[in-house]
Structure 1
Amino acid sequence: MPKGLEYLQRAQYFYYIIIINNKFQVQNYKLNMSTDGDEAGTSTSSYNHRLSRPQTQIITFMQGVNSTIEDKNSDYLCPICFETIEEAHVTRCGHTFCYKCIIRSLETLGKCPKCIAAFDHALARDNKNNFLALDSSTGISDGLRNFITSDSINLSLPDVNAMLEVLIQRKHLLEAESYAAQNRLLYEFLKHLLTQKEEQRNQLQKEVTLIKRDIKEVENILKDLQKKCPRLEDIKKPTEYDSAQVTAIRKEMINLINIIDSSTIKSCEEANVFSSPYINSSNNQCKYDLTSSSTLAVRRRRMHAHFDDFVQCYFDARAKQLHFAANNSDFQSTNSGLNIFREDLIKFSRFNSLRPLATLNYSSDIFNHSTIVSSIEFDKDNEFFAIAGVTKRIKVFDYNIVIRGTVDLHYPCIEMTSTSKISCVSWNSFHKGILASSDYEGTVTVWDAMTGQRTKAFHEHEKRCWSIDFNDIDTRLIASGSDDARVKLWSLNMDHSVASLEAKANVCCVKFNPRSSCHLAFGSADHCVHYYDLRNMKEALCIFKGHKKAVSYVKFVNEQEIVSASTDSQLKMWNINNPYCLRSFVGHVNEKNFVGLATDGDYVACGSENNALYVYYKGLTKQLFSYKFDAAKSILEIQEKREEDLNEFVSAVCWRQMSNVVVAANSQGIIKILELV
């Protein structure tokens, strides 16, 4: 056996023997104090076990250096006796002592000698195994290092070569292990990346398959449409009875056939299915207002401008077929998603802009003081509309008279005066002449709009009342929301509230479900929309969370969907059966004011703090178009004001149901009747 290896084995052998017998930790300072042994023998009893340890002479092995106090590791010393720890015990506070030392300390003090933590005998647990493991792990390297530095002079060349060979092999093994660990980590990363990309590839493959099938379906529809159209040769044949009108109709039909033919060919060759929106999903008839090539070009440009939104809308509509279609038959039998998307595409491209029809003024004050319009509402027949605001007046106008007027000076049919600034008005959906209002004093007032008289007033709200709404099913029921964090229910037959719903924050808006007599939604300053069943008001059916600021408006798009507005400059759409946001509408500015919100079931209109009206389609997140109000000027102004310095904003919006007309007003009392064209 080479002498180097023999020395290594001897070193390890003696080292373990010394650890086991606890003989190698003899200090030089202990020999220097051997003359004081008699005095030490008479010391206090708490250190008797330390003096009873064998006073062995300095042990030298492998011709190394004598053990000194510097050789001792502080981990091995007992903080009480300053000797190598015997029967190591660790306390709950984490300190290690000799068993005898800690027992005697507990009997005397009852606390940890190091941190003065109180404990009893049961808190000291055996730590001998951990201590020995620490000793062995740190001692082997120290012993080997001492052996090499002290005994290397006695090694021959073969011994050194043998030791180097063993150490080099060990080095290569450690390097290989480290390199393997690094490559194993890289391998796991690449495997995870591959899994992700394969999942994305599979998803893309599903989407491509779905798109190809939908393209094929639309191509078949266009081919069937082409077959149903009369032939061009038959239409071109004139007869002797043709008049000028018949000839013009023939020319128009020829143009239609050419457009249909070109659209079919283009769809088959280029798979440009969006170029032919001639099929209405509701009645499957040709839409003649879509056949103009110029109109189609405008629609195509707008479609490409919102292409990313349409992609998301398409996959949302086809999610069921994309993820759950098990086979071909299931896929082909469920094309409702494609019809929904076709309808979205047509409705989106139906209108291009807003055209003003008429302009009104809420106040004739020439000094141009604040005349903010806070609420606009149409009656049940869309014949009259009421305008109310901070001037404490409710003005009712006849819509047809205003539209037919040739000048912008219009007078109301009737005017009602409140005792406080008005925040909201609501018409009764059954009784044409009943109108309700809420004001800044917290009063809920019921008016007879035919006579202009107040018929009932409720004064139970303790603070400002922001919103009021009539129930469309139970037409006697009224809901109101206030800064006193209460939603109160009123009846036309009662003099007091019939119920009160306690909210945790200021209530900014209330709205009944248009198809229910007992379901109500309200928005509050806690950034949430709350949806309640009034038959059980102890707990909300659903709480919609997502806004970052107070919810200022809540409207029902239909009986299942809600749209909410907040001062975080966002509109959000929700489904009453799902607490998650379906879509967020962004583009307008709203950070501090009530800017109005209205919907007709497909389109959503809201105001903005840049003095503009914004219109969204419910299926897309970006605005369709906007209308900018002209900056109002007072006749007493000496210098021109810049538009951005006026701080004007659109303050109220209302949709005329069953039509494409929207009415909006701004903070200067200017009311615009606008038409989507």
Structure 2
Amino acid sequence: MSSKSSNQTSSQSSETPHSSCPASSTEEKLVECPICFTTLKDSFVTPCQHTFCYECISKHLETKSSCPSCGRYLVMSLLKPNYEVDEAVKLYEERKRKKRSRSNSYPLAADLQQLMCQVDSLSAEELTALIEDLKSKKEQREKTEKREDQFLLFEFLQQAISKKESTVKRLEEELQVLLQSRNYLESESPLLQEWKDNWLEEHMHNSSSLHMNRRQRIMEHFDYLEDRFYSLHSQERKSSDSETSCIGAVLDTFREDLYKFSKYSGLHCKAILKHAEIPNISNIISSIEFDRDSEYIATAGVTKRIRIFEFGSILESVLDTHYPVKEMVSSTKLSCLSWNSYIHNHLLSSDYEGVVTLWDAITGQTLNEFEEHEKRIWCVDFSKVEPTRFASASDDGKVKIWSSLQLNSVATIENRANVCCVQFHPTMEHLISFGSADHQVYMYDLRQTKQALQVLRGHRKAVSYIQFLNGFHLVSASTDNTLKLWNVSQSSVVQRSFQGHRNEKNFVGLSTNEEYIACGSENNAVYVYYKEISIPMLLYR
């Protein structure tokens, strides 16, 4: 009887710790991928409301066209990011980490308590033997720990020596490059040799105030510019025939970088465009666009109005409020504008209802409306090569290519997530690029839209803007606080990341020319970057 009772007690005791398992198990199931059975990573949801890791479902759909959970028809274009589950995963991981941290604090105390309960039943002779055994084990443990500590210390010293030796070697190589570069420059400019002993005094005496301002800017960002110099040398050395030709090429390029980075001393406000309305949230401007010749500037936003202003009049005006030369009214909120580079009076708008409208900016009349998108359109763009072609990007995960000569789209690119921005290549009419909420930038050849020509990966959040600097370089902006520069003619690897502005939630704007990149920031400032340097060169607040 006693034996049976003891077994029952033991069975009950072993089950007690699992009394809370159902709730824990349910939470684990909610954040578990049904394919890999691990915690979801970069989760995407199907139309049938099943959620998987993006990598898992992508591999599955390479060979099948059905949902792994229910068997319904499924292809990549039907998947959408599941941001809610991503947040739930973060919370689950945090709770699990805290629980693990708490549980690690108590096991030793519990073990000691159990041990003392067992010791209470020992005799004096057994206790003496136990103490002697523990002393022996303690001595052995102390020797082992001392030996292990010595190994750890030795390993630390070895690693530190190795790192310092690598640093010394790198510094010696960099010093050699700097000395060779200085010698090369002196040979190119005899005047520098004459000033060699008192070059700083001569430099300060003969320099203009503009030059001194540029010098100050260079000194302020010396570390970043130094990294740029060594990076240039490393790149050039791979392709140069000799060290002399390498140094010459590096100095020519770096001299140009110094000039372009330091040539401007600041940003100055030329004018402030003020609408007649009282500023509030309902008057948010979503898009500002110059026309082809920078004679007119058009604005649009949640007021459901497109206003066209004469740019020269804004610069010359002394009035606090500006009035448009033309105003067009839309039936819904507007998200984006795009002027035609050839047909001066053609202006495109996109709206929250998924409609693209072609306007005559001179008469203010609607020329055509293009209605195929199912959700809000974020961006619209006229081709700079083919004047009748334009593209639109929408929350329905589609990029549509249109011709102003017909109402139906001429091509559709299906994407697996919301599309936030789109732009045609500046010189090749068949190339188009767009940024997506799945953190990636895609480039397509319109002659073959089934598969992307390039996928540019590197952002950690949605890509809000893209702009071509030229035919080879593309800049992307994201709500991960970065801009990224890509050389689309060479590879899919990020060429440079720009950081300094703040952008975590909103679409803050992006503007470029061939050398400089400007963007807004959530600290109410405008930042300007030079394309070859990762830090801001100018800031306006």
| TM-score, length-scaled by structure 1 | 0.54
Given candidates 576, 582, 590, the residue that maps to 2:495 is 582
1:414 aligns with 2:320: no
How far did 1:191 drift?
A: 7.0
Distance 2:319 2:207 in 1: 34
Kept after mapping to 2: 8 A contact 1:435/1:449: yes
- 1:335 corresponds to which residue? 248
How far did 1:183 drift?
A: 9.2
1:427 aligns with 2:339: yes
Given candidates 277, 282, 305, the residue that maps to 1:393 is 305
Kept after mapping to 1: 8 A contact 2:237/2:246: no
Distance 1:185 1:324 in 2: 44
One-letter amino acid of the counterpart of residue 450, structure 1:
I
How far did 1:216 drift?
A: 2.3
Given candidates 352, 357, 366, the residue that maps to 1:454 is 366
Distance 1:585 1:442 in 2: 33
Distance 2:147 2:333 in 1: 78
Change in Cα spacing, 1:366 to 1:550, as seen in structure 2 (3 Å) is same
1:605 aligns with 2:513: no
- 1:307 corresponds to which residue? 222
Kept after mapping to 2: 8 A contact 1:215/1:271: no
Kept after mapping to 2: 8 A contact 1:210/1:322: no
- 2:458 corresponds to which residue? 546
Aligned length: 397
What do residues 22-50 of structure 1 show as CA deviations (whole Å, max 9, x unaligned)?
A: xxxxxxxxxxxxxxxxxxxxxxxxxxxxx
SS for the counterpart of 2:189 is: helix
- 1:616 corresponds to which residue? 529
1:320 aligns with 2:235: yes
Q: Give runs of aligned pairs for residues 501-580 of structure 1, distance below 5 A.
A: 501-576=413-488, 577-580=490-493
Q: Give runs of aligned pairs for residues 13-24 of structure 1, distance below 5 A.
A: none
How far did 1:198 drift?
A: 4.8
Q: Give runs of aligned pairs for residues 264-279 of structure 1, distance below 5 A.
A: 265-266=194-195, 268-269=196-197
Distance 1:553 1:619 in 2: 19
How far did 1:185 drift?
A: 9.3
How far did 1:188 drift?
A: 8.2
What do residues 34-79 of structure 1 show as CA deviations (whole Å, max 9, x unaligned)?
A: xxxxxxxxxxxxxxxxxxxxxxxxxxxxxxxxxxxxxxxxxxxxxx
Change in Cα spacing, 1:419 to 1:181, as seen in structure 2 (3 Å) is closer
SS for the counterpart of 2:452 is: coil
Distance 2:154 2:198 in 1: 43
Distance 1:400 1:322 in 2: 49
Change in Cα spacing, 1:200 to 1:420, as seen in structure 2 (3 Å) is same
Distance 2:246 2:540 in 1: 43
How far did 1:333 drift?
A: 6.1
1:210 aligns with 2:172: no
Kept after mapping to 1: 8 A contact 2:276/2:323: no
Kept after mapping to 1: 8 A contact 2:346/2:361: yes
One-letter amino acid of the counterpart of residue 182, structure 2:
I
- 1:294 corresponds to which residue? 209
1:496 aligns with 2:408: yes
Distance 2:327 2:153 in 1: 78
How far did 1:201 drift?
A: 3.8
Kept after mapping to 2: 8 A contact 1:527/1:550: yes
How far did 1:195 drift?
A: 5.9
> Which has the higher relative contact order, 1 or 2, with Cα contacts under 8 A spaced 6 or more apart?
1
Kept after mapping to 1: 8 A contact 2:376/2:394: yes
Kept after mapping to 1: 8 A contact 2:236/2:249: no
SS for the counterpart of 1:544 is: strand
How far did 1:181 drift?
A: 11
What do residues 372-400 of structure 1 show as CA deviations (whole Å, max 9, x unaligned)?
A: 11111111212222111111111112222
The farther-off stretch of 588-597 and 185-194 is: 185-194
Given candidates 324, 337, 350, the residue that maps to 1:438 is 350
| TM-score, length-scaled by structure 2 | 0.67
Kept after mapping to 2: 8 A contact 1:358/1:408: no
Change in Cα spacing, 1:179 to 1:406, as seen in structure 2 (3 Å) is closer
Identity among equivalent pairs (%): 44
One-letter amino acid of the counterpart of residue 347, structure 1:
K
Kept after mapping to 1: 8 A contact 2:276/2:322: no
Kept after mapping to 2: 8 A contact 1:427/1:435: yes
- 2:186 corresponds to which residue? 219
Distance 2:455 2:199 in 1: 44
Distance 2:261 2:345 in 1: 36
Change in Cα spacing, 1:615 to 1:184, as seen in structure 2 (3 Å) is closer
SS for the counterpart of 1:497 is: coil
One-letter amino acid of the counterpart of residue 457, structure 2:
K
- 1:253 corresponds to which residue? none
One-letter amino acid of the counterpart of residue 231, structure 2:
D
Kept after mapping to 2: 8 A contact 1:317/1:338: no
What do residues 324-365 of structure 1 show as CA deviations (whole Å, max 9, x unaligned)?
A: 556xx453266333222111111111111111111112x322
Distance 2:178 2:305 in 1: 56
Kept after mapping to 1: 8 A contact 2:510/2:520: yes
Distance 1:548 1:270 in 2: 51
Query: Unaligned 5+ residue runs, structure 1?
Result: 1-177, 227-262, 277-290, 629-677
- 2:386 corresponds to which residue? 474
* Aligned CA-pair RMSD: 3.0
Kept after mapping to 2: 8 A contact 1:422/1:440: yes
